[in-house]
Chains A and B, each alone.
Chain A
């Protein structure tokens, strides 16, 4: 067996294993044969360990063989020759994707073990692990993606599972509202992503990353685009990344994601999902180099988000919210680093930050315990005035900063008012017109739904 075959086998394994897990858990749920907690955990840990070992093996093999860029093709699924379009499934193992996929397996695996205890006897245990498998598959596909279509596929899996996990406690109102809001922000980011793909296709005639990175292993590739095209495509991708990584102006969704069970908040929003935007920017880094304006935009957005996160985080009074904004600060810095042309530093930063934040979020319910220990050690109540804002600044400025933090920059309200409201108004207008027209045609109230009361009748067992 030569190297290529081994690579193919191992690489196929890395991708197939999460797919297998999803298939097993999904089919079990579909056939109403819910697996026991033990069985679910056995499947989960076996698959994660297999995936992790395969990816480590690939890393070792890459180091030994000196090959820095291995790709795995699953052929063209759709080919439209006259449009030069082909939908290709292609995966790449290189210096960016292998560390990222290993990080995914380690963190997701740890969370699997954690959640097995944490969700013990919970009625949604199976549902959690099903979404968990979907998330894992999404993360692996997105990290290893070699074409923009493949990346989009993984990206969607991650988005779907994230939103559903936020809405995990669907018997309460707030998780559903927040889950839906996150889903909506993700749609905006997806729309930007798709537009970028179309624009790219328009410019190069192929959706392959090669169009973006040119040839050559990451991070040395060169893109075959003009500076103008790069700016256009790059800005769209920046919007996509901002939505996914909760950069300004989409930052409002990050604390809302803390509705789910602690482990999912920890790994998905504290650690992995939130870095996916930065990962996308790393992936397409060659086009950042083509346009100084694009790089500047990335740096500016990253720094603005980081500063924003630092200010808002200091005002938060709840454990998980504070950690969410602390994550945002770091993601902002990482984005800025990418914009500055660094490649390996952001990667190390992502890995370190993800691990640290996961640990912190998992320990969030211990906060009181930890504070008590710290108080005893320090010998008094904890006073931790951070340097910001400095004492010499005028009080009005300090209050202004506090207000900015407290109201979270009113970003959510601004999105609602300037982005959502116009949409809703337009569609309501359409609705009114339609109603008027149908009422005219039927000569009476044409909407059956108007007569349905907003609440369903409750039978005897009333509260």
Chain B
């Protein structure tokens, strides 16, 4: 350790500096796990918000998260009560979950007050109104709380309370028998006098009701009086700033963050500012020092900063040494350093997390941060904190306090937390007594020990516990609905023979006319369902949307290669889109035109912000009203015009450079693409994993998906998760081209996988925002397939219209009576609308993931809530290795999406990034709220508002044994499953039986419902509904009903 620092710090060296520094490094490393793990927003990868706590059981982890981050673990109690009131949480689910949770304790008896179960159930069923003492005093004095029973109290209960009271008063109390001498002060005599003792015999029922309640209140009040508090008060905060805030109401972090936010943004800037930060290469600390070293600071609290920075620079202390010094000066003991540093980092967690991401995980970025930046950040932060604390303390406490003794002094100044008020406790018992029917007489006789037990019992079932039970019931209801629907639907289908085409389908006797392979994304569920409804002779599959083609891809108009595959895979292959030979000249010209246009618009874009350029553009700026008005008033038309112009500078026909000439894959020209053998591996791998179709249709269409929308910083979050938050069209295109290659087919045939010659693959791209469909490479389609393609596209066109229509039911701005054509126009407009904050709802409806044959779910209305992965257990090997492969991708990806939505919905401003309206893109990395705030990771409110936060339910079509065997060796999956971050069930491939995973093993599932509604079409089932919708079997009757009345496609 440096001598000068030790002298400054004026603390005896009790250990070697090296040790302390080592320990510090470890503490910081540990704290980084708690930081948000979202990288630059342009690559949006959904992941579990509480990933670092995955080794804890879910319920413990969310509580731990609540402590660490100060966020909600579950939704607020009011929300669940509302759901219970409207029937979404059924009373039977509540009681089942409660019994389950209590186990043997359920029957624990509390005298006449019933069992623990009864008590807790009453607390769940009937909301207890909490309040501060002052609020309750007002309630007692000003409302009819003491005159009328609560509405929930039944007639029977009311009688049970009034009668004994009447008897007790008339028979015993007046005679003086019940009046024990010690209880003389209970105030009942005064009450009787107040109500008029002489007229007692003539009291009406209402008077007795009021009197009973008055007595009850008095008894409760007396009963709980003097019972000590059970729960310990929350410990005092650790950070100086928190204590100071509590004691004085002044926030030192406001000052610190003002400086840090601006500097972090400049340091991490990926090229937004015209002038980059000078000395950025020197690292965080040095460039900070360069900015603040020389100048005289006007702000009083920063006046000592230049001296402090100069001293540190002269002493050449390392960041860790500086942190060590700051902690000593702040009087932080060795034992609490870990927690203290963790809390310090979390105070501005968005920026700290982004620094860590840019330092550790973003080597591909334009300007990644050098290693050690977070340590330097922390060093700077602690220096600033010291200055700010000293300043605020001087200002507010009117005296100078040594920083080291700061916390001790503050702890004495913090006002004592209010004791548990008698009113609050009394009122809880008072409310419970009314719904449980405890008469004042019985309560009056309850000894003090009994009261103490009662209060403890009530307080041990606090709000957090109630919310946990509510939440489990909330999940249970939907889980049972799902499992019941799967069972009943399976039974309805009869024995599953593998063929999915209903044999009655228009005399074609099970001949499949075309097959469509989509992403497993739950947004494609409705698209597939509608397609199957429109043309029952088609067959659909769901696979991870990169179609096994893991590649770096560069489009013809794009500047860089970007990975198109799940983030867990690092691609080896590079693929490029090129214009075809005969358009090469035109294409060069167009590329030049694009470049010139791009440069020009960049110059205009930047120019309007400069002095002279701004002057010129300002003069001509009135012209901007034209695009302004057009874009706001006619978004869809404007987009069409823009596309028209765009087409002029884009090559009309392109091809993929897919066949490699060189030996090794790489980004050079001869390294681009795949070898035939690799292609055969990709094609065979995918076809086998999705369960080889019994028969190939002449036409197999693969649709990758993505989403494009305007004015949406989180745009990438709507893209395909299996492509790492990018658009999967090129993957589908590449796969089709590979599978069509006769040489690839020959290699596959040698391997035992026959793709008949008459089968043709087509790649396509589905835009989930405007429901557009683009097909690739149609020029290569043989003439023999034109008719089949015609038929398929007619069905696909109709299906995308219907899909748009079904999506529109969730958009309040689209009327419920809209036609499918209007619906399509509506979603097209949404995608191009600058003012649209909800271009699509993304994954907001996700709840279930089904892994199995489509035949088990075909014709079941899943409400876009189910990820659908095709898997056929009968084609798997005995070790279920195909299933393992599928689960390895499906469980982490789907759970990541689901849990990110869970947390962003449960606490939209804590875990999520709040409302989009004030968002401000900064440093091309993320969004801030308004002018200057912490970076906001997570999902915005507009994306999650309709989400029902539930842990995702995986239903796998296999046996429990095979399931357990296939995940036995997968540590990351076992973490999620064993700790109940996801729910797991199996559906037997042969029979309609379901097993649910609980407490380490599979238990058979007992169905709850015995019926599942049917509807003639999806439209008939969802029409007129905005909210989430239950399951139904879609059983077409007669010709398929269509919306425009033109007759169905049969």
B552-584: CB near A (< 8 Å → 1, else 0) gives 000101111000000000000000000000000
A453 to B132, CA, bound (A): 15
Asked if A152 is at the interface (CB within 8 A of a chain B CB), the reply is no
Known A-B contacts A113-B835, A118-B835, A365-B712; A318 and B922 likewise in contact (beta carbons under 8 Å)? yes
Which of A110, A169, A348, A453 interacts with B918 by CB under 8 Å?
Answer: A169
Return chain A residues, CB-CB under 8 Å to B609: 313-314, 322-323, 325-326, 329
Task: Kindly state whether residue A405 has any CB partner on chain B within 8 Å.
Answer: yes
Whether B266 and A117, one on each chain, are in contact in the complex, defined by CB atoms closer than 8 angstroms, is no
Q: Which single residue of chain B is at the shortest CB-CB distance from A378?
A: B598
For the complex, give the distance between the alpha carbons of A174 and B258 in Å: 11
In the complex, which residues 703-726 of chain B have their Cβ closer than 8 Å to any Cβ of chain A?
A: 710-713, 715
Q: A364 and B921 in contact (CB under 8 A), knowing A315-B273, A318-B265, A326-B614?
A: yes
Interface string of A13-30 (1 = CB under 8 A from B): 000000000000000000
Given A319-B921, A333-B611: A314 in contact with B246 (beta carbons within 8 A): no
**Restricting to A408-463, which residues have a CB under 8 Å from any CB of B?**
410, 413-414, 416-417, 453-455, 457, 459-463
The answer to whether the Cβ of B249 comes within 8 Å of any Cβ in the partner chain is: yes
A115 at the interface (CB under 8 A from B): yes
User: What is the minimal beta-carbon distance from B978 to any residue of chain A, in angstroms?
Assistant: 28
Interface presence of B834 (CB below 8 A): yes
A386 touches B606 (CB 8 A): yes
- Residue from A323, A362, A371 within 8 A of B834 (CB atoms): A362
Contacting residues of chain A (354-411) with chain B, CB-CB under 8 angstroms: 354-360, 362-386, 398-399, 402-403, 405-407, 410
On chain A, the residues within 8 Å of B623 by CB distance are: 352, 355
| A169-B930 CB under 8 A given contacts A317-B923, A463-B72 | yes
Within 8 A of B (CB), among A257-291: 257-263
Instruction: Given A113-B632, A349-B619, A454-B249, verify A258-B559 contact (CB < 8 Å).
Output: no
- Report yes or no: B275 in contact with A314, Cβ–Cβ below 8 A: yes
- Residues facing B in A179-232 (CB within 8 A) are none
Within 8 A of A (CB), among B65-81: 66, 70-72, 76-77
A384 to B274, CA, bound (A): 6
Q: Identify the stretch in A4-12, A119-127, A131-139 within 8 Å (CB) of chain B at 4 or more residues.
A: A119-127
B274, B557, B624, B930: which contacts A174 (Cβ < 8 A)?
B930
Size category of the binding interface on chain A? 35 or more
Is B298 a contact partner of A410 (Cβ separation < 8 A)?
A: yes
Choose among B614, B624, B631, B837 the residue with the greatest number of A CB atoms under 10 Å from its CB. B614
Kindly list chain A residues whose C-beta atoms are within 8 Å of the C-beta of B76.
Answer: 461
Inter-chain residue pair count (beta carbon < 8 A) = 303
Which one, A257, A357, A463, contacts B66 given CB within 8 A? A463
Tell whether, in the assembled complex, residue A318 and residue B920 are in contact, meaning their CB atoms are under 8 Å apart: yes
- Of the listed stretches B5-13, B28-36, B289-297, name the one at the interface; the rest are far from the partner chain: B289-297
Query: What residues of chain A lie closer than 8 Å to B633, measured between beta carbons?
Result: 110, 113
Task: Tell me the complex Cα distance, A37–B34, Å.
Answer: 41
Q: Let me know if B266 and A406 touch, CB within 8 A.
A: yes
Contact of B299 with A417 in the complex, beta carbons under 8 Å: yes
Q: Is A374's CB under 8 angstroms from B601's CB? A: yes
CA distance A399 to B838 in the complex (A): 43
A359–B624 CB distance below 8 A: yes
CA distance A360 to B605 in the complex (A): 9
Q: Does B644 contact A (CB under 8 A)?
A: no
On whether the beta carbons of B290 and A413 are closer than 8 Å, the reply is no
How far apart sit A438 and B919, CA to CA, in the bound complex (Å)? 49
- Are B598 and A368 in contact (CB-based, < 8 A)? no
A368 to chain B, nearest CB (A): 6
A295 interfacial contact with B, CB 8 Å: no
Interface centre among A318, A363, A384 (most CB of B within 10 A): A318
Q: A330: CB under 8 A from chain B? A: yes
Q: Encode B952-963 as 1/0 by CB contact (under 8 A) with A.
A: 000000000000
With a cutoff of 8 Å between Cβ atoms, the chain B residues found around residue A86 in the complex are none
- Once A371-B924, A384-B606, A459-B130 are accepted as A-B contacts, the answer to whether A117 and B837 lie under 8 Å apart by CB is yes
CA distance A124 to B970 in the complex (A): 48
Contacts of B187 on A, CB cut-off 8 Å? none
Contact with B along A97-128 (1 / 0, CB 8 A): 00000000010001001111111111000000
**Distance to closest chain A CB from B603 (angstroms):** 8
Is the CB of B504 closer than 8 A to any CB of chain A?
no
Complex: A172 Cα to B919 Cα, angstroms: 13
Q: Which residues of A contact B834 (CB under 8 A)?
A: 114, 362-363, 366
A52, chain B: closest CB distance, angstroms: 12
Instruction: Give how many B residues have a beta carbon under 8 Å from the other chain's beta carbons.
Output: 108
Q: A364-B920, A416-B299 are in contact. Are A120 and B274 (CB under 8 A)?
A: no
**Among residues 140 to 185 in chain B, which have CB atoms less than 8 Å away from a CB atom of chain A?**
none
Contact check, B627 vs A359: say whether CB atoms are below 8 A apart.
yes
Tell me if A321 is interfacial: C-beta within 8 Å of chain B: yes
- Give the residues in chain A near B928, CB-CB below 8 Å: 318
Please, which residue of chain B has its CB at the minimum distance from the CB of A399? B278
Residue ID in chain B nearest A386 by CB atoms: B274
Evaluate contact between B594 and A351: CB separation under 8 angstroms: no
Report whether A351 and B711 are in contact in the complex, using a CB–CB cutoff of 8 Å. no
Q: Are A413 and B931 in contact (CB under 8 A)?
A: no
B608 close to chain A: CB less than 8 A: yes
B558 touching A376, Cβ below 8 Å = yes
- Bound-state CA distance A407–B258 (Å) is 11
Q: Which residue of B lies closest to A463 (CB)?
A: B70
Contacts of B918 in A (CB 8 A): 168-169, 175, 258-262
Closest Cβ of chain B to A98, distance in Å, is 15
Decide: A175 and B463 in contact? CB cutoff 8 A: no
Asked if B920 contacts A118 (CB within 8 A), the reply is no
Q: B772-816: contact bitstring with A at CB < 8 Å (1 yes, 0 no)?
A: 000000000000000000000000000000000000000011000
The reply to whether the CB of A306 lies closer than 8 angstroms to some CB of chain B is yes
Q: Which of chain B's residues has its CB closest to A367's CB?
A: B921
A144 beta carbon closer than 8 Å to chain B: no
Q: Is B249 a contact of A369 with CB atoms below 8 Å?
A: no
A118 to B39, CA, bound (A): 27
Tell me if B266 and A315 are in contact (CB < 8 A).
yes
Give the shortest distance, in Å, between A183 (CB) and chain B (any CB).
15
Of B248, B559, B619, the contact of A378 (CB 8 Å cutoff)? B559
Are A368 and B933 in touch, CB under 8 angstroms? no
Contacting pair A359 B628 (CB below 8 A): yes
A307 to chain B, nearest CB (A): 7
Q: Are B131 and A459 in contact (CB under 8 A)?
A: yes
Which residues on the B side are within 8 Å of A405 (C-beta)? 275
Residues of B within 8 A of A168 (CB): 918
Chain A's closest residue to B917 (CB) is A261
Q: With CB as the reference atom, state the residue of chain A lying closest to B131.
A: A459
A457→B131 CA distance, assembly (Å)? 10
15 extra interface residue pairs, beta carbon distance < 8 Å, beyond A175-B930, A384-B274, A454-B247: A118-B837, A258-B931, A259-B918, A314-B273, A322-B609, A333-B611, A351-B622, A352-B617, A366-B710, A368-B924, A372-B42, A378-B602, A381-B366, A402-B291, A453-B415
Q: Which 6 A-B pairs have the closest CB atoms?
A: A377-B598, A352-B621, A454-B249, A356-B621, A259-B930, A326-B609
A-B contacts, 30 listed (Cβ < 8 Å): A113-B632, A255-B932, A256-B931, A314-B609, A317-B266, A317-B922, A319-B272, A319-B920, A319-B921, A320-B931, A322-B273, A349-B615, A353-B614, A356-B621, A359-B627, A362-B628, A362-B834, A366-B712, A375-B560, A376-B559, A377-B595, A379-B591, A384-B602, A384-B606, A386-B606, A399-B290, A403-B295, A407-B295, A410-B298, A459-B130
Binding site for B on A (CB under 8 A): 106, 110, 113-122, 168-169, 172-175, 177-178, 255-263, 306-307, 310, 313-323, 325-326, 329-330, 333, 345, 348-349, 351-360, 362-386, 398-399, 402-403, 405-407, 410, 413-414, 416-417, 453-455, 457, 459-463
B interface residues, Cβ below 8 angstroms from A: 41-42, 66, 70-72, 76-77, 130-132, 245-249, 251, 254, 262, 265-266, 269, 271-275, 277-278, 290-291, 295, 297-300, 366, 415, 418, 462-463, 555, 557-560, 591, 594-595, 597-599, 601-602, 605-606, 608-611, 614-615, 617-625, 627-629, 631-633, 710-713, 715, 812-813, 833-838, 910, 915-924, 928-933, 945
